[in-house]
Structure 1
Amino acid sequence: MNRKYCLPVVTACLVLSLGPGSVAMAAPVPSIADVVPAQTAAPFCYEEPSQPTADISDLKARFSSRNWMQTLQAMYQRRWPSGQQLAIAQAKDPYWNQFVETSSFEAFAESMMVAIHEETHMWDLDGSRTEWDKYTASWINATQKITGIPLHGGFPRKEILPLIKDRLSQDMDNIYLRDRQQGDYRLQGVLAELNAGLMGLPAVTVVQEYIKGIGASNSRDIAATNLRYLLLYLRVAKDRHPDYWAKIKNEPRVRELVLIQFLRTAYWLEKSAPYSGKLGSPNADKITEKNYAPENIAILEEFTGRKVRVDAQKNCTT
């Protein structure tokens, strides 16, 4: 995988460049986690365990560049089990050292946005679970994964650009939508970036008191913007690619993933809201407001077949 990073003065900008050939070919995994209750009108709320006030002072005191993986797993075991389980699943991945900063515990905590984001990509796009543009997988949390997600190709995500009438996500738009390579990525890229962003955000939300720099300062923007891309992608699919719209709308795994990611984004944006000064720019909330525009809620509900709440419990269906 090719990676690019930019660190503007105000916010950090993470870009993962994905593409064909980054994973080996394998047969689709036939099973699917019971993430969203299917074919039921019962309300459903996305939640997952986290204890952001759990004491980790002893881990901080013992932290060193030699025990960072042990510290990472213990830290998240106490505060966010999904992070712990991902770290266990990916413990042998040789790329961790590229993303984890070990000069201090504070730098270590701050680097978790990038590290967990990237290792989520590594899990999702492993050759046993993903074949580019054909099917993919998404690590949701410690107990929920969706595998064997059919993609049926799709169309270049740059086609959503005409629907973006503001500059709120301009930095990410320039990379993911206007870049010659990135702009041509299809549904695979849209889903992969959103899922990684929804792991990077809680990774730093639960250790926010140790974050002193700007390395996690666009965590909320990444989640909000990638949800924006998904909703706009669905709108363009329906309006301009009806055959493709019909294919993915007929796939239960895709519908389940879209719904869970929408509710999950709401859940973690709410959890991280008290720390928006260090985990996101004011644009994150402005993008979120646009994500709840009637036309976006309408496409979500048409695609998933579920009604979502737009009040204080945005992480729930009705």
Structure 2
Amino acid sequence: MSRTRALSLVTVLLALPPVAVTTAASGSVTSLAAPYCYEEPSQPTADVSDLKARFTSSNWMQTLQAMYQRRWPSGQALAIAQAKDQYWNQFVRKNSFEAFAESMMVAIHEETHMWDLDPARTRWNVHTAAWINASRQDTTVPLHDGFPRKEILPLIKDRLSDSMDGIYLRDQTQGEYHLQGVLAELNAGLTGLPAVTVVQEYIKGVGASNARDIAATNLRYLLLYLRVAKDRHPAYWAKIKNEPKLRELVLTQFLRTAYWLEKSAPYTGKLGGPNADKITVTNYAPENLAILEEFTGRKVRTDTQRHCTLTS
């Protein structure tokens, strides 16, 4: 997944049997003529000093839920949904409140994988699920298999995402993942980023220093995957372009990336390097916007309101 130390925990969730689940997404966005903007509640200045003062290695889950209840309710909701997951302990650092806050990028990222890839929701390469936020979780989103994501490599002409390209695209196993892997990694990146954005003042180390890069890079992969689908796999392109739930998810993730990259921009250096913004520039290149707009049927804004679509 996003770091090699967590890969083995998620691979156990591959090739899972399908179970029907009702979609919790609130309405269709791709069919609306009015502008659609991605937003979700957050209050990054809410006081959590009392939680910091009381923090111990034994009350970390209560602290996690209370911290996000005040600052990012979607994080609280995910923590509640995943409270019984056995892997939390491997992701959460408990030696100090600062270390705890910093570890939330990894912890929330990986617990998103655990929710999304649960066999009750996802059948690998057939349909996927995505925890978007507290009020929206997309399920049974059709995938129609796909092709190895390593096929996008020839479209990457720079070294801005080189370290992640090595993990996700050039790796013998990861490079073979299809659209399922692309979407799952982006979705986890889009929870890991807000998880640390809203507690940034407590982050003192480098454990969250690529949060913005992860989001920007995985959006890059999705856009390039769609371009390769259209150019090299026309039959597959036709199938996925005919899936409203998938088109809606792609649009939401594009706008959601813009939303959280903007929110986290003041903390570049702590939550990301300069390459995150450089990758974002390439994501808004004409050929990438064209494929997004062709696939979703919506035009997106490129001004200061990048988390919104234009009126159709």
- Provide the TM-score with structure 2 as the length reference: 0.96
Match of 1:94 in 2: 86
Structure-2 change in CA distance of 1:250 and 1:220 (3 Å): same
Conserved 8 A contact 1:194-1:223:
yes
Match of 1:116 in 2: 108
Match of 2:32 in 1: 40
Q: Secondary structure at the match of 2:268?
A: helix
Q: Secondary structure at the match of 1:37?
A: coil
Matched pairs, number: 310
Match of 1:62 in 2: 54
Match of 1:263 in 2: 255
Match of 1:224 in 2: 216
Match of 2:74 in 1: 82
Conserved 8 A contact 1:15-1:175:
no
Q: Deviations over 1:88-135 (max 9, x none)?
A: 000000100000000000000000000000000000001110011100
Structure-2 change in CA distance of 1:146 and 1:2 (3 Å): closer
Conserved 8 A contact 2:153-2:169:
yes
Name the amino acid aligned to 2:278.
K
Structure-2 change in CA distance of 1:75 and 1:20 (3 Å): closer
Give the fraction of aligned pairs with identical amino acids, expressed as a percent: 76
Match of 2:4 in 1: 4
Match of 1:250 in 2: 242
Conserved 8 A contact 2:42-2:198:
yes
Match of 1:9 in 2: none
The answer as to 2:134 corresponding to 1:142 is yes
Name the amino acid aligned to 1:226.
N
Correspondent of 1:301 among 260, 269, 293: 293
Match of 1:186 in 2: 178
Q: Is there any run of 5+ residues in structure 1 with no aligned partner, and where?
A: 6-13
Conserved 8 A contact 1:109-1:211:
yes
Conserved 8 A contact 1:19-1:132:
no
Correspondent of 2:154 among 162, 173, 179: 162
The answer as to 2:135 corresponding to 1:151 is no
Conserved 8 A contact 2:30-2:297:
no
The answer as to 2:25 corresponding to 1:50 is no
User: How far, CA to CA, are the matches of 1:242 and 1:20 in structure 2?
Assistant: 32
Conserved 8 A contact 2:30-2:298:
no
Q: Secondary structure at the match of 2:128?
A: strand
Conserved 8 A contact 2:251-2:296:
yes
Name the amino acid aligned to 2:130.
S
Match of 1:238 in 2: 230
User: How far, CA to CA, are the matches of 1:29 and 1:197 in structure 2?
Assistant: 23
- 1:62 CA displacement: 0.1
Q: Secondary structure at the match of 1:279?
A: coil
- 1:39 CA displacement: 1.7
